[in-house]
């Protein structure tokens, strides 16, 4: 495993670091205080090529690979999680599904708008009774008079309250369900029967909202189907590998920023006549954080490289997501401790990062689910070798 990036990626990191520091970091406190993203931010990201990074160039995207995208998430997360959230809306589950499996008409209609920031997308899988157990979803789509009628409810949908269109997973064959009985549909804002019934904020930034979506006799035609009828669950599961690596990369970025802040603070802050940097208790906290961060980078970078090569990575993406999401929580906690009173004062970045990092152990599959998947992979390999 290596944590050395190619010269191209290192140059890209340096460019992004300057952009994030100059343009985005000054807005982070405003976003956290107001709970709103300034209107010009999506256009700013698009202008600099950070929206639609993975969308094909013919639609105005960057046409870049997973490594480029994950590195961008790592850098942007150093300022505020909301920036990675915006980027995911233009290069995440829904855009990639449309680009890879959508019709020509769907690509022409949606991808350019996602890349230039004039359209926003969301992905709707989770329901009140089916979070990790997504195969038990109750939202259904029924064939009626040549159209599809969607009925059901989704919740905790990231960005669902502001999205211009949403890729909705619905059961089209209750017998098959996850084995060919779930279909992906594009439902546009304003479609009769589709309403945003609630928008929730969390303990993290209020600029990131989780929506409840209700579908009552919501009628769409065949042009709304992404891929083939019955492929929806496959689409959802295929997105998880890259989704988990995206989360892991964001956690690395936050951890790196917190360790950097803590190290500088320890050098500057003096207690009882000595800087904190000379206190063994502080040294050990920083050393543990540096060690965990280095291990995380090695695992994640190597896994991303193998995914791009087409290597079967097994449960390694789950390991990346699990380790990094729990690592960033530990590093955030140590950062608060190193900063003392300043670490718990609202408006200071450490306090904000501390609140926001708790999300990562739940989103994109909880820590418990990742452990189940890893253990299943171990048993599978053990049986195959016996």
Looking at the fold, whether 18 and 97 belong to one and the same domain comes out as: yes
What pLDDT, in 10s, does the model give residues 133-176?
A: 778 899 999 999 999 999 999 999 999 999 999 999 999 999 89
Number of domains the chain contains? 3
Is the pLDDT at 318 greater than 90? The verdict is yes
Active site residue 33: no
Chosen domain end from 214, 230, 246: 230
Q: Give residues with Cβ within 8 angstroms of 384, minimum separation 6.
A: none
Where a domain ends, among 65, 99, 116?
A: 116
- Residue 335 pLDDT exceeds 60: yes
Same domain, 256 and 217: no
Q: Which residue has the tokens 């594009």?
A: 186
Indicate if 16 and 129 belong to the same structural domain: no
pLDDT score of 127: 92
> Confidence class of residue 179 from pLDDT cuts 50, 70 and 90?
confident
Q: Which of 230, 256, 289 is a domain's end point? A: 230
The enclosing domain of 102 has a CATH number of 1.10.540.10
Are 222 and 245 found together in one domain?
A: no
The mean pLDDT value for 207-217 works out to 96
User: Which parts of the chain are beta strand (E)?
Assistant: 121-124, 140-144, 147-158, 165-171, 182-188, 194-200, 210-220, 225-226, 270-271, 274-275
pLDDT in tens, 273-315: 999 999 999 999 999 999 999 999 999 999 999 999 999 999 9
Per-residue pLDDT at 1: 43
Are 186 and 281 in the same domain? no
Q: How far lies 370's CA from each of 36, 214, 243, 366, in Å?
A: 32, 29, 13, 6
Percent of the chain with pLDDT over 90: 88
Mean pLDDT (whole number) for 344-352: 93
In-domain check, residue 220 = yes
Q: Which of 212, 231, 242, 364 is catalytic?
A: 364
Would residue 386 count as lying in a domain?
Answer: no
Q: Return the CATH number at 256.
A: 1.20.140.10
What is the average pLDDT score of the chain?
94
Q: How do residues 192-203 score in pLDDT, each as one tens digit?
A: 999 999 999 999
Contact 289, 332 (CB under 8 A): no
Whether residues 268 and 220 fall in one domain: no
Do 212 and 307 lie in one domain? The reply is: no
Here the CATH number for the domain that contains residue 164 is: 2.40.110.10
Same domain, 267 and 172: no
| pTM, entire model | 0.94
Same-domain status, 66 and 107: yes
Report if residue 251 sits inside a domain. yes
Q: 316-339 and 367-385 are packed helices; what angle lies between their axes, rounded to 10 degrees?
A: 140
1: in domain? no
User: What is the residue range of 149's domain?
Assistant: 121-230
pLDDT score of 83 = 96
Model pLDDT for residues 74-109, shown as the tens digit of each residue: 999 999 999 999 999 898 889 999 999 999 999 999
Q: What is the pLDDT at residue 3?
A: 63
């Amino acid at each position: 495993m290596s944590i050395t990036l190619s010269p191209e990626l290192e140059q890209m990191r340096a460019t992004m670091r300057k952009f994030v520091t100059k343009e985005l970091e000054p807005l982070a406190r405003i976003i956290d205080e107001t709970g709103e993203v300034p209107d010009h931010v999506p256009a700013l990201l698009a202008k600099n090529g950070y929206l639609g990074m993975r969308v094909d160039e013919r639609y105005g995207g960057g046409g870049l690979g997973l490594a480029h995208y994950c590195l961008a998430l790592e850098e942007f997360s150093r300022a505020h999680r909301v920036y990675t959230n915006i980027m995911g809306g233009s290069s995440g589950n829904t855009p990639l599904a449309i680009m890879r499996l959508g019709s020509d008409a769907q690509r022409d209609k949606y991808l350019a708008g996602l890349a230039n920031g004039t359209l926003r997308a969301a992905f709707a899988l989770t329901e009140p009774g089916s979070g990790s157990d997504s195969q038990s979803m109750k939202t259904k789509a029924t064939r009626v008079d040549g159209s599809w009628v969607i009925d059901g409810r989704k919740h905790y949908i990231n960005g669902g309250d502001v999205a211009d269109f949403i890729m909705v997973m619905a059961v089209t064959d209750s017998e098959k369900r996850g084995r060919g009985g779930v279909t992906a549909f594009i439902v546009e804002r304003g479609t009769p029967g589709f309403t945003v019934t609630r928008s929730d904020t969390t303990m993290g930034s209020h600029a990131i909202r989780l929506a409840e979506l209700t579908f009552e006799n919501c009628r769409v035609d065949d042009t709304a189907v992404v891929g083939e009828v019955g492929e929806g669950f496959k689409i959802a599961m295929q997105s998880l590998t890259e989704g988990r690596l995206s989360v892991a990369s964001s956690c690395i970025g936050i951890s790196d920023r917190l360790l950097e802040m803590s190290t500088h603070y320890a050098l500057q802050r003096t207690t009882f006549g000595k800087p904190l940097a000379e206190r063994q208790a502080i040294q050990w906290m920083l050393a543990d954080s540096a060690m965990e961060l280095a291990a995380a980078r090695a695992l994640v970078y190597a896994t991303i490289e193998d995914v791009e090569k087409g290597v079967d990575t097994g449960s390694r993406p789950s390991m990346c997501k699990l380790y990094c999401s729990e690592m960033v929580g530990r590093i955030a906690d140590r950062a608060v401790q190193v900063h003392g009173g300043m670490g718990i004062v609202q408006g200071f970045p450490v306090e904000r990062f501390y609140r926001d990092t708790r999300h990562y152990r739940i989103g994109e599959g909880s820590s418990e689910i990742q452990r189940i998947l890893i253990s299943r992979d171990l048993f599978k390999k053990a049986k195959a070798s016996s």
